[in-house]
Amino acid sequence: MSIIQFYGKLCNSLFAQFLNPLILKNPTPPSTSENLRKLPTQERAHRTMEAIFQATAHIVEDEGEGALTTNKVARKAGFSIGTLYQYFPGKEAILVAMINRERRRVMDKLQTMMLQAVQERRDPRTIVRELIQTLVESFGSGPKHRRAMIRLAWRMDHHEQVTQALREAAERNAFALGQLNDPHVRVPTPAMMFVATRSVMGAIRSASLEDSPLLGTPEFEDELVRMVWGLLRV
């Protein structure tokens, strides 16, 4: 098995573990049309939604999630409540849209990283470190103004349908990449994948929820890389 195939499988499992808590609890996942009352088709509409997202993030960061209301978001964004309701039926729909957008951003970034890894034939440990860096930044540390939103997302529950879509996307990305065989990498087993994904997920989740000062430090990243590489190498 190539390192890229392993990387795709690892991304697949990590997405399933990291992004499960990033989707709001709901027995039937809402469709895009249910989350968004008006789909943005013009630049002005995109700017309106971006202002709503930024206002929501600032309120959560500055005042806490308990202070979040649609009226407060509308005021901070500089719109009437009627304008906000043209796009979102409530605050939970805003949060879901923000989380979905971040999920897509991370998936796109990881896909680009994999393509570059193939083209440049990077060594496996470099690939592992880049994966860990992206996951820590996206679901743990991130810029200071995003940390409260990240913690809020971790406290939310998940949709199995969404995580299944993420698994399929990760598998397609891995399949699309060429071979980059490495004799120093073990063939992944179910036990290895379980331990690697749960360990990385648990460490980042706990550090985020505890607002640990370790987040964003080289020491934290190094230990995660050392742990995954210890499982991966022959």
Whole-number pLDDT of residue 37: 52
Share the mean pLDDT of the chain: 75
Q: Domain residue spans in the chain?
A: 3-25+99-232
Structure tokens at 76: 């901070």
pTM comes to 0.70
Residue 128 has pLDDT above 50, yes or no: yes
Per-residue pLDDT reduced to its tens digit, 3-48: 555 555 555 555 555 444 443 344 344 444 445 555 555 788 888 9
Per-residue pLDDT reduced to its tens digit, 154-210: 877 554 544 554 455 445 444 443 355 677 777 767 777 778 877 887 898 899 888
Bridge partners of residue 109, in order along the sequence: none
User: Could you tell me the pLDDT band of residue 121, with boundaries at 50, 70 and 90?
Assistant: confident
Cα(first)–Cα(last) distance of the chain, in Å? 13
Whole-number pLDDT of residue 13: 56
